[in-house]
Amino acid sequence: MLRPHAREAGRHPLGQVDAIGADAFGQSDVCADQQHQAPGGRNRPQTPALLDSVRRAESAKYDRRADGKTLGDGLRVGNARRIGEEQQPGQRRPAHDPWRKGQGRTRQGFQFVLTVQGTPPMSQALVEIRARIAAAEARAGRPAGSVTLVAVSKTQPWDHIAPVLDAGQKVFGENRVQEAMERWGDRREGLELRLIGPLQTNKAREAVGFFDVIETLDREKLARVLADEVQRAGRAPRLYVQVNVGEEPQKAGVAPDEADAFIAACRATYGLAIEGLMCIPPFDQDPAPHFAKLRAIAARNDLNSLSMGMSDDFEIAIAQGATSVRVGSALFGGRNYG
């Protein structure tokens, strides 16, 4: 573990500042709060470039600012922004993996993590994210509490989720029906669970019976099956239509120019009550125009709920009218692949 001098660490009101360099430890799949526990990491040799970066971090005297930027942001360590997990379908390694090379909003180099003695980093992160949401609401002139935080708990180990749950978070997003049922089956009471991953028609019955919200309605066959299961079960989860705002072939979702007709068919043909829309913008483009596109589709169809914005861009999404944001990596750290 690389640490600033004691006099620098003591200056921060939250406590100790840990500088974690993935290049020093070689642990791309371990989240920041775990890296210092890895065997062998403490005595690995440090490169001159790494030492130089740490010295700059020690001398810059940046603090966590009101806009939520961290020490690493102030130093422009890792110029790219972190992206949400859902934006990389089919990739085995997390999109913010420091070893990953390529285009888009990737995360490279150092992560600077503020820690308070005895406080789990995930519950600390929850406080910070809630504060950033409140600040974004205020900047947009929106009422406090108008945006719901969906904690993306998919693939996370329980020891990452538990501190967030204990800190009062009640809305969680999952990608897979079976995984969610196994994780939350005996912890279901008092929570709102959202399916934010693709839904196969053969899992529709379980999804209708288990989830409060299904955000990924994206094709007519699924609409027909969901309608049948709603009638059979006598209960209807709230439904969002997923729109492929970037028209990316590798992503699910209705094309923007087909969204109006699809929403009308869901309502008139299948009797489904559509509550809102969801999108995942292209990770290598400015998300604001894509969020604005989704908002326009919602307005045309008298929909008031917009699920848009993730770890990397949820403040932009709030400015564009998001009513819920899906935050995973900024809250829990990297994904656990097992």
Ordered per-residue pLDDT tens for the chain, 338 residues:
444 443 343 433 333 333 333 333 333 343 333 333 434 444 444 444 544 554 554 444 334 444 444 333 433 333 334 334 444 444 433 333 333 333 444 333 333 344 444 456 888 999 999 999 999 999 999 999 999 999 999 989 999 999 999 999 999 999 999 999 999 999 999 999 999 999 999 999 999 999 999 999 999 999 999 999 999 999 999 999 999 999 999 999 999 999 999 999 999 999 999 999 999 999 999 999 999 999 999 999 999 999 999 999 999 999 999 999 999 999 998 654 33
Q: Where are the domains of the chain?
A: 6-115, 121-332
| Residue 271, token pair as written in the block | 């009797």
Nearest Cα neighbor of 218 from 199, 193, 192 is 199
d(CA 133, CA 139): 10
Residues 71, 60: contact at Cβ < 8 Å? yes
Helices 259-268, 220-233: inter-axial angle, 10-degree rounding: 30
Cα dist from 51 to 1, 9, 74, whole Å: 12, 17, 18
CATH class of 121-332: alpha beta
Cβ-based burial of 55 (10 A; exposed 0-12, middle 13-18, buried ≥19): exposed
Q: pTM of the entire structure?
A: 0.67
